[in-house]
Amino acid sequence: MDYWGKYMYFNLRKCNDNMKDEITVGKFLKDLVYNIHMKPYGDPIVVRFATHDINKGGITGIQMLEDSSVTMHCVDFNNNVYLDIFSCCDFKKSEAFEVIDDYFKPEAYSWDEILRNVP
């Protein structure tokens, strides 16, 4: 690789209700990490947040990796999921999206990728 790490984010719109269940989100994080060939560092952390703004409450999940991290926030109000993957090891969008689609069945999504360099 000619770069330090890859950062990929997904905006998933109108997902199914799996994104509202803490146990399912924890399983998703484990399966995602396995499917993109990363090594988890410990178990995922999954927490339900009830905020003062009902438009922002939902589940946040974090899976630390030996090579960086996966973070996500699931918004109950609109069934959107915002997922970030960062690693100094390479991984493929298709391998990530296979698990995303299996668990959350988004009606629409967008994504982008940033390659990070060290000057």
User: pLDDT (tens digit, 9 = 90+) per residue, 22-61?
Assistant: 999 999 999 999 999 999 999 999 999 876 767 678 999 9
> Does the structure show a pLDDT above 70 at 107?
yes
> Does the structure show a pLDDT above 90 at 118?
no
CA 75 vs CA 3, 82, 88: distances in Å: 32, 8, 28
For the chain, the domain total comes to: 1
The pLDDT assigned to 119 comes to 58
Domain housing 43: 5-116
Please give the model's pTM, rounded to 2 decimal places. 0.92
What is the separation of C-alpha 34 from the centre of its chain, rounded to a whole number of angstroms? Answer: 13
Q: Could you tell me the CATH number of the domain that includes residue 59?
A: 3.60.90.10
Dmax over Cα atoms in the chain, in whole Å? 44
Closest CA to 19 of 69, 77, 63, 91: 77
